[in-house]
Amino acid sequence: MPASVRGPATLAVERHSDGLVVLTFSVPDHRHNVITPRFLADLAAALDEIEQSSGRLIPRGLVLRSGREGSFFAGADVSRLDGLRDLPPAEIGRLCDAGRNLFARLSAAAWPSVALIDGVCLGGGLELALACDLRVATAASHTSLGCPEVKLGLLPGWGGTVRLSRLIGPGPAIELVAAGESIDAWAAARLGLVDACVPPAEALETARRLIDLEITTGGIAARRRRQAEPVPLDPQERAFLEATTAAVIFGRTGGHYPAPPAILQTILAGSDVDATAAGGIESQAFARLAATPVSAQLVRVFRIGDRNRHDSGVAGDVTPAEVRTAAVIGAGIMGAGIAASHLRADVPVTLVDVNAQALAASVPGILDEAAWDRATKRTDPSRAVALSGALRTATHLAAIAGADIVIESVTERPDVKTAVLADIERTVGPGAVIATNTSTNPIARLAEALADPARFCGLHFFNPVRRMTLVEVVRGPATGDATVATAVALAKRLGKCPIVVRDSPGFLVNRVLMPYLHEATELVREGIDPARIDRVARGFGMPMGPIELYDMIGLDTAFYAGLVLSAAYGDRIEASPLIPALVKSGRLGRKTGSGFYRYSGADQKARIIGVDPDGRTVLDRYAVAPRETTDRTLADRLLLPMLLEAVRALDEGIVRDPADIDLAVIHALGFPPFRGGLLAWADALGPAEVLRRLEPLADLGPRMIPTERLTAIARSGGRFST
């Protein structure tokens, strides 16, 4: 038991009767502990007090732990990063040096220090733990460790690259920092990142034993010496590491993100010198990255994502209904994926389909997907068995009577959907939320089948459900606030990013996507090689080009979606004659082994062999006069119609906030995060530059005509994004 307790604002100092000193921190006004200037000041003051009183009572050891369950430290306060860009590089470097030197005091004292890691330990939090002599992690599901700074376009700036490379080696350090992914406590123990992995109740006692062991063996001195010296690296090993890692990094980033290659060079350069010099190298690298536009955009994307995580989806104080059980109607690809998503989130789900054979066939895949382990990249069989008890299947709707939310995911035919929705309403209780998973059907029209449309909304999941994080929560004219709030809360529980959109043809994502796809077909009609179109799109930062995307979606699926959008926005999104021509010829994309391209097989994993020459013959019948097109103007033609449609969606109030458009295109379309989203990209160009680029394309018709909002913003010098 502690002999005394004293506490400043963010941490408490406990002196135990056996000489152990425990610092317990809890940073107020944040959901997780984050490193704030106040915490740094409190830590410095606490270390001063311990050192000044050590003449009276030399501590046996120092233990750092969190007073907040599930959160050691989630990193630095991201809201303060914006201010860094206003500082000169030398001042940023000085701040890095100050933080690193403060943390270094933990392993410079006459007594050993131990970090007890329970919960998330990320970024600056991991650097704080690394600065201690020893680390004990709890074997709890909520414990994870990582360096996510790269996702903000940065690298660790408080000694992370210095200490990590000396602890686990430069190669593993580069992989951990450049990837930015978290690992659990057991993986951290295998890597040598922590010294013990124990149940939470045993953590403090384990720290005591480690301290006693290190005092007895004198091991702390050897640890501190290794942390201070250069890291010996064989020249051939170094050359191999540098070449292979650089290639992997380029493959992941396409050269668009400066942080990963900077991490590689910083860790390698820091390994050649002592820790003090390596710290200077790290500070300079952090300062350079903090000034890049890429970091500015990535920080903004993080912040608007964080705003989304706290947004209820409605104005005012509306409490979402509790979802204890869910039901999904339809065991097709989407229905199965939605059911698996619920199981992964520990939400019991009932899956209903009138086809008993299809229903039974879907179960193994649902359990495999629900039990997928991202770390091992395979299904955890024991987890699949455990989840099987939470999945019920039935061929009749009576099985859903007690569900709190029912998601209809049958065929996209409106007559079938309305009939199923009416049956659902007659079956469930009056408080149940009813949702439809649809990408094309207007919510208002489907709601006509219901007696109480206030409890009905759209929940548009994207395929494949496990990998696609965006969910469009579609609000119909009669949808109630409580329904929207419940749908948003459930989507977040499933680990998704929900965007509330107003009912309209194509909702938001498909409406913005279709101009991109349509323009690609017009370029093909003008004789532009599909491979060149895709190469330019990937060069901009898109994960795949529009022609590849057409083939992946399926040309038949794209055809029907195109009809809906063409009927609504025909003056801007005309139905391309190429798509029905390819569909009639039996070329549906990857699933048939041929579309715009030929493939090595007939599935989504098949590789592109080349442009289908027979398909080219089909397309040549619809050729139009070519235009002189550079790669720059080709990119403009693909992307500017997307931007204009997004601006029109703003004008029509389709979304509640401009930032929702940027989040949607990043999460659903893979729009490059380093560009910040469509609207942020337009702001980076400048609205006046957007107008200049549109001017020579005006003869292409309404799809290239600036909106009044664009013209007004260009005139006023304003911005699209927030």
Residues belonging to the active site: 460
* Helix, strand or coil, per DSSP, at residue 46: helix
Residue 381 exposure: Cα atoms within 13 Å on the Cβ side: 0
Instruction: Write the single-letter amino acid at 489.
Output: A
Instruction: Write the single-letter amino acid at 420.
Output: V
Q: Can you read off the two tokens belonging to residue 613?
A: 């020459």
- Phi and psi angles of residue 396, each rounded to the nearest 5 degrees, phi first: -135, 150
115 within 8 A of 135, measured Cβ to Cβ: yes
709 within 8 A of 650, measured Cβ to Cβ: yes
Residue 219 exposure: Cα atoms within 13 Å on the Cβ side: 11
Q: Give the Cα separation of 311 and 671 in Å (integer).
A: 22
**Inter-axis angle of helices 37-53 and 89-104, nearest 10:** 40
Q: Which residues pair with 538 in a beta bridge?
A: none
Q: Can you read off the two tokens belonging to residue 647?
A: 């601006």
Q: Can you read off the two tokens belonging to residue 620?
A: 């040549």
Q: Which of 77, 74, 64 is nearest to 25 (CA)?
A: 64
Q: Give the Cα separation of 624 and 695 in Å (integer).
A: 21
* Helix, strand or coil, per DSSP, at residue 635: helix
* Alpha carbon separation from 383 to 144, 378, 389 (Å, rounded): 19, 11, 11
The number of angstroms, rounded, from the C-alpha of 395 to the middle of its chain's C-alpha atoms is: 36
* Helix, strand or coil, per DSSP, at residue 198: strand
Per-residue DSSP letters for 370-390? HTEETTTTEE-HHHHHHHHTT
Run of H or E including 604: none
* Helix, strand or coil, per DSSP, at residue 463: coil
Q: Which residues pair with 349 in a beta bridge?
A: 326, 391
Q: Give the Cα separation of 140 and 716 in Å (integer).
A: 54
Q: Which of 246, 256, 255 is nearest to 298 (CA)?
A: 256
435 within 8 A of 410, measured Cβ to Cβ: no
Instruction: Write the single-letter amino acid at 594.
Output: S
* Helix, strand or coil, per DSSP, at residue 114: strand
Q: Which residues pair with 552 in a beta bridge?
A: none
Q: Give the Cα separation of 284 and 93 in Å (integer).
A: 6
